[in-house]
Structure 1
């Protein structure tokens, strides 16, 4: 069984995925794969450099991710170009890891953590979608605190994603992470036992 795990920025997806992994779930992390596909020497990194410039290579041959982010931020055309390079290999790797886990461990839950699952229209890849939710005000405050952002900067980041309230409505499974960690654990335990995973 597989589940797509998503939410909004600063909603606590990592917290929830680690609670599930502690119970025996297997994790496929889209963010980690996104870093792997642009490791030094990969064809994807070569394509990014060819499109966006040699100055994005650090002395050790790795990608200067922050500089790339600055280059595409606020430039929809550049962002689309980057997505066209990155998304196919990321999705292919996600799918192959998910399928390999399911074949090898048919009795285990496979969690695929995809921050922009709805934005990328990937719902069909998964049996169910679990959304980690906090109200927008909490999300904004956590994002400002976590990343040291002004309210304006945090608002811009939130505006680049589908609103969390919309994701909440589209969820097959909803975990409200706005309370204590114990409250989140209780919801995860309920989900785990309801699915017969325990």
Structure 2
């Protein structure tokens, strides 16, 4: 089974692109959905975080806004959060890949926003970066409820710059020209990696 890492800065269209990969036949793991599951009532994340961030956990549910507010002003708190959450996500990701293999998937896509930031690119066969022109990205993000320019800048500062992501990518999908163009690019990636002659560019890294 070929494992692709899918990433991209906020507002680039990564979630839409992930859905396109699913439509093209790939098994898709959604890291954001996995985090939501961890933070929901009964999730492992809530029980682990309750003692460390009591102000952000109520009735067994993690308040993501409260948690974000805490770690945003406390770098050490962010490190503590990552030490708890990353291993839990790694376990879920491994279970997903094992099940995809059992199900006979030829391609599995790991949709991970912070793929480069967490070193995840070293454990996949190829990296797909989703991009768009800066003006398109800004318009998309600022149209989201509760988003403003200051918050956008803070979130973007935590991410690897788009130009660097594109430079480190094995495949780039540009969503700035519309859905159909992006869908054709997704199909081209699937065709390329399923070619028997294709070899992982990361095999020797």
Query: Taking structure 2 as the reference length, what is the TM-score of the superposition?
Result: 0.86
- Distance in 2, matches of 1:14 and 1:2, equals 17
Residue 14 of structure 1 deviates from its aligned partner by: 0.9
Match in the other structure for 2:62: 63
Q: Which residue of 2 aligns with 1:157?
A: 155
Q: Secondary structure at 1:100's aligned position in 2?
A: helix
- Correspondence for 1:17: 18
Aligned to 1:72: 71
The separation in 1 between residues aligned to 2:76 and 2:135, in whole angstroms, is 30
The correspondence for 2:142, drawn from 121, 141, 144, is 144
**In the aligned structure 2, how far is the partner of 1:42 from the partner of 1:152?**
31
Alignment match, 2:118:
120
2: CA distance, partners of 1:157 / 1:117: 15
Cα gap change, 1:152 to 1:56, in 2 (>3 Å): closer
Query: Which segments of 5 or more consecutive residues in structure 1 lack a partner in the other structure?
Result: none
Contact 1:135 1:165 (8 Å CA) reproduced = no
Please give the alpha-carbon distance, in whole angstroms, between the structure 2 residues aligned to 1:161 and 1:97.
25
Per the normalisation by structure 1, the TM-score is: 0.89
Distance in structure 2 (CA, Å) of the matches to 1:124 and 1:186? 27
Please give the per-residue CA displacement for 1:81-100, whole angstroms capped at 9, x wherever unaligned: 11111111101211221133
Q: State how 1:33-182 maps to structure 2 within 5 Å.
A: 33-53=34-54, 55-59=55-59, 61-106=60-105, 108-182=106-180
What number of residue pairs does the alignment pair up?
A: 194
Give, in whole Å, the separation in 1 of the partners of 2:146 and 2:77. 26
Q: Tell me, yes or no, if the aligned pair for 1:129 and 1:171 is still in contact at 8 Å.
A: yes
Measure, in 1, the Cα distance between the counterparts of 2:8 and 2:30: 14
8 Å Cα contact 2:49/2:57 also seen in 1? no
TM-superposition CA deviations, 1:146-177 (whole Å, max 9, x none) = 24433232222211111111101000111011
